[in-house]
Amino acid sequence: MKKSKGDQGMKMPAFMANLGNVHMDISGNHEIILEGGKGIVEYGDKSIKINAGKYILAFCGRGLHIQCMNDSDIVIHGFVTSIEYIM
């Protein structure tokens, strides 16, 4: 299938997950966009834990930081090595 000229600038995330009320876009191992998180449980450069309602999402890696955050979205940057769902 040929790409049209309009498709050249479009970049799709490597992985998208819909986890109930939480939606996560993962681009490689360096950026995560989380929509619907309920707040930060733990914040450090090796681990960031986010309240996702019925569970906690734990992002582990190196140089992790929250790039930006608003009422519904959290953008995490850094070298992500694992994502855990904690019940």
The predicted-structure confidence for 28-83, as pLDDT tens digits, reads as follows: 899 999 999 889 999 999 999 999 888 899 999 999 999 999 988 999 999 999 99
Domain range for 50 is 20-86
Task: Answer yes or no: is 10 within a domain.
Answer: no
Give the pLDDT of residue 12.
Answer: 47
Total number of domains constituting the chain: 1
Name the CA radius of gyration of the chain, rounded: 14
Task: Determine the Cα–Cα distance for residues 80 and 65; give it in Å rounded to an integer.
Answer: 10
Q: Which two tokens stand for residue 61?
A: 């890696």
CA 9, 63, 46: angle at the middle one, nearest 5? Answer: 125
**pLDDT at residue 87 above 90?**
no
Tell me the CATH number at 37: 2.60.40.2000
Task: Determine the Cα–Cα distance for residues 60 and 78; give it in Å rounded to an integer.
Answer: 10
Q: Which two tokens stand for residue 76?
A: 């995490």
> Model's pTM, two decimal places?
0.77
